[in-house]
A and B are shown apart, each in its own frame.
Chain A
Amino acid sequence: MSYSLLELKDVTMQFGGVVAVNNFSMHVNEGEIVALIGPNGAGKTTAFNCITGVYEPTNGEILYRGHTVAVSHPHGKMRKLYAGANADLYRDRRILHPTPDEITKLGIARTFQNIRLFKSMNVYDNVLTAMHLRAKQNVFSALLRISYKEERRMREDTERLLKEQDLYRFKDEKATSLPYGKQRRLEIARALATEPELLLLDEPAAGMNPQETKELASFIKEIKERYNLTVFMIEHHMDLVMEISDRIYVLDFGSPIAEGTPDEIQNNERVIKAYLGESNEI
C-alpha cells in the first residue's frame, strides 16, 4: 500500500472556546501541488501551524509518509471545554507533539505569511544559516574548524542556490533591504536550503501585483520540478490557485466544506456561497 506524503486525520484546533479548525482531514500526494483556500479567518494558517508543530492540535492525527508525526486528544483544561468532533477517537493514543525543528528535519519546510527573515543578516547568511540543519558537524569540530570541508560545501551550496534563485547579486545586502518580491523569493530559497521534500507556502503571493503573481506561478512550478518537491500552499489569489493546483481544499469557519480539482471547486455551490458570497464571479 502506498501512503500519501502528508495526511491529516480529524485535526481540530481549539483556543479557549474558539474552534479554529474543526475536524479537518486531508492528504497531499507526492508530486502534487495542493492549495488550501478559504475566506479570512477560516483557519488556514492555524492548520499550517498544526502541521509545522507551532501548535499542538487539540485532537487528531498528522502523518508523514504513513508515519504518525503528531497525535493528540483533548487533555487538561480542554477535556471539559472541547467542542470539536471525534473527541473519543484518539483517547487511547499517547500524545505526540514534535517541535517545529523536528518537523523541518523530516523534510517539511515552510514560509511565513508575514515574511520572517533573519533581520540582522545579509542575504547570503540567511540561506547559509538554514543549511545548519543538515550539517553533520558537532560544536567541537565546528569550533576547531575540523569540519572546514563541510563548511566549504555549505558555502558552495548556498552560492548555487542563490544563483538558481537569481538572488546572487544581492548576496551581501541586508535581507530586509530587498524589495518585497525578492524577500519572498529569499524566504523560499531559505526554506529550500533545508532540503525539503514538502514545501508549505503561506500566502506566497500576498502583497504582489498581478504581474508578480504570474511570475510566482511559473516560479513555483519551476522549483517544484527542479527540486522534486511537493507543494502545499495557502493562497488568496484565485488566478494563481486555479492555474497551478492539482487539487484544492476549502475551509470555512474552521470546517472543511469542499475538496476537488480546480474545475470542481469553481463549480461547487457551497464554495461559491461561502467563499464568494452570493455572486458567482471568480
Chain B
Amino acid sequence: MEKEKKKRLALIWAAIAVSYIVILILEMTLRPTSMLLTVLKKGAIYSLVAVSMNLLNGFTGLFSLGQAGFMLIGAYTYAILTMPSEVKTSESVYKYYQCFITFDTGVFIGLIAAGLMAALFAFLIGLPVLRLKSDYLAIATLGFAEIIRAVCQWDVLGPVTNGANLLRRYIDLTYVTIPFTDIPFPPTLFVFIVAGISILLIVLLINSSYGRAFKAIRDDETAAEAMGINLFRHKELSFVISSFFAGISGALLAMFQYTVQAQQFKSMMTYEILLIVVIGGIGSISGSCIASFLYITLSEWWLRGLDMGSFLGIDAPNLFRSGFRKLVFSVIIMIIVLFFSRGIMGDKELSLTRIKGFINKRGMKKGKKEAEA
C-alpha cells in the first residue's frame, strides 16, 4: 500500500518534470511569438487563478466573486514596485502625476508583495463579511472588485496608480533574468515555474489537516463547528490564501501583457474564471487546470475565426463578427451549467488509473461495436 503510494507519487513527479522539459524545448525551438507559447503562458496563469478560486468555492464552500479585484491589486502592486525608478521619475509613464513611490524592487519581491497586498485586502474584507452567511460574501466581494477598479482610476491616487492611464515599462516576462546572471529567463518556463509552485502549495494545503477542515466546513458547517473547527478563522484563512495566489496570478498576467490597466479587471473576468472552475469541476484541482488550458486555447486560438469572419472555412462576416466567439462561449457554458454541472472532472482528480479506465472504456466500446459489426 505504502509502496504503491510512493510509486504513484514518483510517477507524478516524473510527469511534471517531463512536461517542464518539453516546455523548455518548445521555448528553444519555436518563435517567441508563436501562438502555442502564448496559449501555454496564459493558460498557466488562468490555471493558477482558477485553482485559487476553486480553493475557496470548491473546497471551502464559500462563494466569492472577488478574483478579478485581487488580481488587479496583484497586477498593480507588481507593476508599481518593479518599475525602475528612472522610469518613474521620467515622464514616459507617469505623465500627469509625480510618482509617489520612488524605489523599485526585483521580480521575486514584486511577486510576493503582489500576493501579500491582495491577501491583506482579503483579510480586511473578510473580517466583517465572513462572519455572515456566505451569500453576503458573494455580493461583498463582487462589490469590492468593482470598487477597487474605480478607486485605482481615481485621480487622487494618481501619484501611486497613475490614475486611469496604463502602467508599462515594469519588469515584464522579456526582462526576467536567471538569478545572479544576465541571461534572460525563458518566459514560458518562468510562468510555469511560478504557477506550478503556487498550485503545488495549494495542493499541499488541501491535502493537509487544514484542507480537511475546509472540506468539513463545506460539507456541514454545524458539524464542523461541533468538531472544534473555528468557522471564522478557517474561512478567513482560506479566503486570504486564495486571494494571495489570485494576487500572484494578477502579477503574472501583468508580466505577460507588458501593460496593465485597471479597466480590464471587470466582473466579467471573475465570471470567466468562475465558469472555468465550473467547466473543470468544482472541487477538482486538475479539472481547473485542464479547463483553463482548454478555455484559453479555444478562445485565443482555435475559435478566433468566430470573431474574424471565417470559421472552419465558412465565410460569413455578418454572422462571425466581433463578439460572436464570446456569445458561443456563453451558450456552451450555460449548457454545461445546466446539463453537465459536474464539469470535466467532477470533484475527482486526474490520475493514471482514471486515464487507464477512460481508455479501457473507450476501447471496450470500440470492441463492442466491432463485435456487433
Instruction: Write out the residue numbers on chain A whose beta carbons fall within 8 Å of the beta carbon of B224.
Output: 118, 129
Smallest beta-carbon distance B226→chain A, Å: 5
Could you tell me the distance between the alpha carbons of A232 and B205 in the complex, rounded to whole angstroms? 37
Query: B9 near A: Cβ within 8 Å?
Result: no
Chain A, 106-152, CB within 8 A of any chain B CB = 109-110, 112, 116-121, 125, 128-133, 135, 137, 139, 142-145, 151
| Residue pair B225, A99 in contact (C-beta under 8 Å) | yes
Flag if A129 contacts B231 (CB, 8 Å): no
Query: Which B residues lie within 8 Å of A245 (CB)?
Result: none
CA distance A100 to B224 in the complex (A): 9
Stretch at the interface among B66-74, B210-218, B245-253: B210-218
With both beta carbons as reference points, the residue of chain A lying nearest to B212 in the complex is identified as A129
- Point out which of A52, A142, A190 has the most chain B C-beta atoms below 10 A from its C-beta: A142
Chain B 204-238: CB-based contact to A (< 8 A → 1; otherwise 0): 11001110110110111011111111111000010
Q: Are B231 and A105 in contact (CB under 8 A)?
A: no
Chain A, Cβ-Cβ closest to B230: A101
B127 to chain A, nearest CB (A): 16
Across the interface, do A142 and B216 meet the contact criterion of CB distance under 8 Å? Answer: no
Q: In the complex, what residues of B have CB within 8 A of residue A132's CB?
A: 209-210, 212-213, 216, 227-229
- What is the distance, in angstroms, from A192's C-beta to the closest C-beta of chain B? 11
Which residues of A lie under 8 Å from residue B220 when comparing CB positions? 116-119
Interface residues on A, range: 35 or more
A129 to B224, CA, bound (A): 9
In the docked arrangement, what's the CA distance between A132 and B237, Å?
Answer: 15
Is the Cβ of A101 less than 8 Å from the Cβ of B229? yes
Pick the residue among A102, A130, A142, A191 that contacts B208 (CB under 8 A): A142
Contacts of A143 in B (CB 8 A): 201, 204-205, 208, 210
Interface centre among A105, A132, A142, A191 (most CB of B within 10 A): A132
A45 near B: Cβ within 8 Å? no
- Decide yes or no: A104 and B228 within 8 Å by CB, A119-B219, A120-B219, A125-B212 being known contacts: yes
Smallest CB separation, B270 vs chain A (Å):
25
Within 8 A of A (CB), among B341-373: 347
A185 to B205, CA, bound (A): 29
Q: Could you say which residues of chain A place their CB within 8 Å of the CB of B237?
A: 139
Q: Which of these, B209, B222, B347, contacts A131 with CB under 8 Å?
A: B209
Shortest CB distance A111–B (Å): 8
Q: How far is the CB of A232 from chain B (nearest CB, A)?
A: 15
* Residues of the B chain whose Cβ atoms lie less than 8 Å from the Cβ of A145: 204, 208
Contacts of A105 in B (CB 8 A): 228
Q: Determine the residue in chain B with the shortest Cβ distance to A142.
A: B208
Per the bound structure, the CA–CA distance linking A278 and B218 in Å amounts to 48
Residue A54 lies at the interface, judged by CB distance under 8 Å to chain B:
yes
Q: How far is the CA of A154 from the CA of B213 in the complex (A)?
A: 14
Kindly state the separation between the CA atoms of A131 and B201 in the bound complex, as whole angstroms. Answer: 22
Contact status of A129 and B216, CB under 8 A, knowing A112-B223, A120-B347, A135-B209: yes
Q: How far is the CA of A191 from the CA of B226 in the complex (A)?
A: 8
Check if A129 sits within 8 Å of B208, measured CB to CB: no
Q: Are A101 and B209 in contact (CB under 8 A)?
A: no
With A151-B208, A154-B209 already in contact, the answer to whether A101 and B225 are too (CB < 8 A) is yes
State how many angstroms separate the Cβ of B11 from the closest Cβ of chain A.
19
Residues of A within 8 A of B212 (CB): 121, 125, 128-129, 132
- B209 and A142 form a contact (CB under 8 A): yes
The verdict on A194 contacting B228 (CB below 8 Å), with A117-B223, A129-B215 known, is yes
- Contact present for B222 and A54 (CB under 8 Å): yes
Residues of A within 8 A of B227 (CB): 101, 104, 109, 129-130, 132-133, 190-191, 193-194
Whether A139 pairs with B210 at a CB distance below 8 angstroms is yes
Knowing A101-B228, A143-B204, A145-B204, the reply to whether A118 touches B210 (Cβ < 8 A) is: no
Give the residue among A105, A120, A121 with the most B Cβ atoms within 10 A: A120
18 additional A-B pairs beyond A99-B225, A112-B222, beta carbons within 8 Å, are A100-B225, A104-B228, A109-B227, A116-B220, A120-B215, A125-B212, A125-B215, A128-B212, A129-B229, A132-B213, A132-B228, A133-B228, A133-B229, A135-B209, A142-B209, A143-B205, A190-B227, A191-B227
- Which 8 A-B residue pairings sit nearest by Cβ, starting from the closest? A133-B228, A104-B228, A116-B223, A142-B208, A118-B219, A100-B225, A129-B212, A130-B227
Q: List 13 A-B contacts (CB under 8 A).
A: A99-B232, A101-B228, A104-B227, A109-B227, A116-B222, A118-B216, A129-B216, A132-B210, A132-B213, A137-B208, A142-B205, A151-B209, A194-B228
**Which residues on A are within 8 Å of B, measured CB to CB?**
52, 54, 99-102, 104-105, 109-110, 112, 116-121, 125, 128-133, 135, 137, 139, 142-145, 151, 154, 190-191, 193-194
